[in-house]
Structure 1
Amino acid sequence: MKILLQMIAIATLSVANVTTQAQSKSKPNVIYILADDLGIGDLSCYGQKKFDTPNIDKLAARGIKFTQHYSGSAVCAPSRSTLITGQHTGHTSIRGNVERGEDLEGQVAMDGSVVTIGDVFKNAGYTTGAFGKWGLGFIDSEGDPLNQGFDEFYGYNCQRKAHRYFPPYLWHNKEKVFLKGNDYIQKVTYAPDEIQKATLDFITKNKKKPFFAYVPFVLPHAEIISPEDAVFNKFKGKFKEDKPFKLPHNYLSDYGPNIDETKYASQLAPHAVYATMVTRLDIYVGEIMAKLDELGIADNTLVIFTSDNGPANEGGADPDFFNGTAGLRGVKRDLYEGGIRAPFIAVWPNKIKAGITSDVISAFWDMKPTFAAIVGEKKIGVTDGVSLLPTFLGTKDQKQHPYMYWEFPQAGGRKAVRLGNWKGVIYDIAKKDKPEFELYNLANDQAETKNLAKDNPKIVDEMLAIMKNEHTDSPLFPFK
């Protein structure tokens, strides 16, 4: 009888294990890769001609490529806030880049009461990790990634610290991890390499259970710098370097005893190094995909690649030289298309068909409802987004946005609305009593060159009403 009971117990346990494994496998792993200051035209699958991004191009060939996807904002922190909260910049708690205090590490903390994408995955039984640049609240604040639905964080908590690629330390959860040989004088350990190792380790450790990996890379944000390795040697001397980043410049500070760590290092070959940085980013993406294949979990993993805003022109970066906006107007900090139109690629074997292109109009705040639909989680809190799952699966029930809205309280105050093919933009709201309203028809003027506002007063009035209605007051980011 004792032996029989043991056999029954073992059989019951085996069935339970099989059931648990089956449930785990039924839930896809999700990896969301976010580049930093990467223009839509910086990828060869979106038109880059001066260098190639073969691994990211393979993603596009294997999945779906969006042509009208938008970042959450025109700069780092608010863009990430819209992603994490599923709310556009008229509603999300972080709407600009603001430090938490003079000489203090970290930025002001996002609202801790909002259901985040981390929470969505956690509530659905996922292990969650964030690897790269955070910028939404310092350690132990309500904006700490560990208080926003993430089990693990490794990287730069402070986006100002991320101006340096050879920092003395990174953060692992609540602990500083010092990097070998780095002291702001010596440059030995390239921080993105360490973040990549942590990312791959997280994937490996969680291969047998569903996980969500949020991977906000720092590349290719300034400073424009790279190890002088084989990747750099591929581009060394390849391009004309007629715009070196060197003194005199008020945002330059080289490594050494008198370094200002918030500024950027000089760079005499910025074109070569920028191409190196994007290529290194592409290599990291290839390594992630190879790891999924190695672990045998690629078929059950959704991988998304995008960028947080348009290309920057700081630190020696030169989006004009590389056509980083793919001909669109504006760069980082602009609410014209070049500042907020982002690459967006999704790969999900046996779910998303290969080689598909979509012109569905979408944005960062769509990711929370999309992820919730994928994992079957209903408690997602408030959101301005719609699920993109129908587009991923190729069904015909994709909900469309009636309009899209952005606001940027810095740089004089800026707002933008997309309404169908119409795009409305206002600049200098805080500086002028009657700022000019600009209206463009993106159907035949994606470069936003011809202002049609005077000829379309009804559309202008409708957009002005949207701008007013979609803005909620924020004590931290006061705005008209």
Structure 2
Amino acid sequence: MKQQLTIGGAFLIAITGLQPVSAQKKKIQENKKPNVVFILADDLGFGDLSCYGQEKFETPHIDQLAQNGIRFTQCYSGTTVSAPSRSCLITGTHSGHTAIRGNQELQPEGQYPLPADSRTIFQLFKNAGYITGVFGKWGLGFVGSTGDPNKQGVDHFFGYNCQLLAHSYYPDHLWENDKRIELKDNVLEVEYGKGTYSQDLIHSKAIDFLDKQDNDVPFFLFYPTIIPHAELIVPEDSIIKKFRGKFPEKPYKGEEPGNRAFRKGGYCTQFYPHATFAAMIYRLDVYVGQIVQKLKEKGLYDNTIIIFSSDNGPHMEGGADPDFFNSNSIWRGYKRDLYEGGIRVPMIIAWPGHVSTNSETNFMCSFWDVMPTFEEVLNPKADIKKMDGISLLPLLESRKGQKEHEYLYFEFQELNGRQAVRKGDWKLVHMNIRGDKPYYELYNLASDPSERHNVLVKYPEIVKELKIIMEQAHVENPDWPLF
């Protein structure tokens, strides 16, 4: 599986250090179902990790994860915002088919729920005898609804049910299954930045979950962290001190105590947004290192698949400055765009004895490939043909038979509606669908990876072909009308 990434004719990264899998070790591990840890960052850009080119700070533990596994350079999220992207991930459907297609808020707290008949990755693992846990942000159905995590195959949930409230790192409550956990030290009168930092608490619960596992019953841990989604804030500890004063700063004026949106979806004031952003990702990197260390302490690491990715491209809210950090690398666009910067995300997969170490692939894949991949891991005879995605297991195990996507399809409900199709090197984008003047753009990603040159008028036959794919891939949902 020796592959290279070529962008516009320029060779960027070579594969080094491929190591053969020990036949004896592989034979031992084939007799046991692997544990799975999936870490999903929130709005982390393609270029926000040092193993993907970040130069202003380092992510050593995530870099080590990449050294121990495979790094994807053409992985796409489900779409360009949280809820529908996660819906694609956990149901194995692309955004023209998936049940949740937008970030729709519902009262009293939460988002539009997954339907009761959804087939989720959690149910897949439950049916295979796994213990399932989710620690972080849900956003796919309020407590008691059909989308409640406990009704979608999750044994233990701790974190934010509502992604709007997850804008605050010092909330007044979190949820443990259907029990509301009050965080009484996060009352409004307390100085902001002091009290219980939610992601530290969520992380400790995830570590506790791992501490209870053993080699007798396999587990699936889904870790959808809220880092580095705005707001920009971290505890006053050694991590922020490591970065404060290191970068030029432009203070961000946000919501203050007493304002209507304070801790209710608004973002706090931050005098050091650059330092805080770097500190947040560094903190996430520490979390990743602690997860890996706990797996090793428990003797679970050698039989665990670890995946790291992000739900969409980088945001610009709350004082975040993706251009300063080059968060989207060479790709055009940000969160809410269907240009590459909004949907191309980092993905790292480590699996001792199966995935070649220190490897890299430019294979084109997507979030809806995750579920069929695990379907084949758990049941090699599964009928993957009935899913939108394809199994990546042959690629991961460096063997023949890896299928490829004919195309990838994306849609986005907001901003008058958007669509995109990628087929081979070609990318067609449909903009302002419900507006007065909808229009198309065509890009060749091989010669123009940053999508700067619209060549729509030069290739009418390509445009016609990709328009047909757009029409066929989108299935209209009355709850989420695109047109």
| Contact 1:120–1:379 (Cα < 8 Å) also in 2 | no
Decide which of 205, 208, 220 is 2:212's aligned counterpart: 205
Aligned twin of 2:463: 460
- Counterpart of 2:331, as a letter, is L
CA 1:98–1:259 in 2, change beyond 3 Å: closer, same or farther? closer
SS in 1 for 2:376: helix
Aligned twin of 2:371: 368
SS in 2 for 1:181: helix
CA 1:40–1:185 in 2, change beyond 3 Å: closer, same or farther? farther
- Counterpart of 1:398, as a letter, is Q
Shift, 1:426, TM fit: 1.3
- What is the TM-score normalised by the length of structure 2? 0.91
1: CA distance, partners of 2:316 / 2:91 = 28
Identical amino acids, percent of aligned pairs: 52
Aligned twin of 1:81: 87
- What is the TM-score normalised by the length of structure 1? 0.91
1: CA distance, partners of 2:155 / 2:450 = 42
2: CA distance, partners of 1:408 / 1:119 = 27
Point out where structure 2 has 5 or more consecutive residues left out of the alignment: 1-27
Decide which of 403, 406, 417 is 1:402's aligned counterpart: 406
Matched, 1:28 2:34: yes
Matched, 1:325 2:324: no
Aligned twin of 2:9: none
SS in 1 for 2:354: coil
1: CA distance, partners of 2:407 / 2:361 = 18
Aligned twin of 2:255: 253
Larger radius of gyration: 1
Matched, 1:470 2:438: no
Matched, 1:188 2:188: no
Runs of 4+ in 1 over 6 A off after TM superposition: 22-25
| Contact 1:89–1:406 (Cα < 8 Å) also in 2 | yes
CA 1:375–1:408 in 2, change beyond 3 Å: closer, same or farther? same
| Contact 1:82–1:89 (Cα < 8 Å) also in 2 | yes
Shift, 1:411, TM fit: 1.2
Matched, 1:214 2:222: yes
1: CA distance, partners of 2:423 / 2:385 = 25
| Contact 2:134–2:157 (Cα < 8 Å) also in 1 | yes
1: CA distance, partners of 2:189 / 2:48 = 31
Shift, 1:293, TM fit: 0.7
| Contact 1:56–1:285 (Cα < 8 Å) also in 2 | yes
What does 1:409-448 align with in structure 2 at a 5 Å threshold? 409-433=413-437, 435-448=438-451
What does 1:229-240 align with in structure 2 at a 5 Å threshold? 229-240=237-248
What does 1:234-383 align with in structure 2 at a 5 Å threshold? 234-241=242-249, 243-246=250-253, 252-256=254-258, 260=262, 261-376=264-379, 378=382, 383=387
- Counterpart of 2:281, as a letter, is V
Aligned twin of 2:390: 386
SS in 1 for 2:126: helix
- Counterpart of 1:334, as a letter, is D
Matched, 1:96 2:78: no
Aligned twin of 1:13: none
SS in 2 for 1:40: coil
Shift, 1:380, TM fit: 7.8
1: CA distance, partners of 2:85 / 2:58 = 26
Q: Deviations over 1:273-327 (max 9, x none)?
A: 0000000010000000000111111000000000000000000100000000012
2: CA distance, partners of 1:244 / 1:71 = 31
2: CA distance, partners of 1:150 / 1:175 = 15
Point out where structure 1 has 5 or more consecutive residues left out of the alignment: 1-21, 247-251
SS in 2 for 1:192: helix
Shift, 1:360, TM fit: 0.7
2: CA distance, partners of 1:288 / 1:467 = 40
Shift, 1:255, TM fit: 3.4
2: CA distance, partners of 1:40 / 1:373 = 28
1: CA distance, partners of 2:311 / 2:187 = 29
SS in 1 for 2:185: coil
Aligned length: 450
Mean Cα deviation higher: 407-416 or 23-32: 23-32
SS in 2 for 1:437: strand
Shift, 1:228, TM fit: 1.1
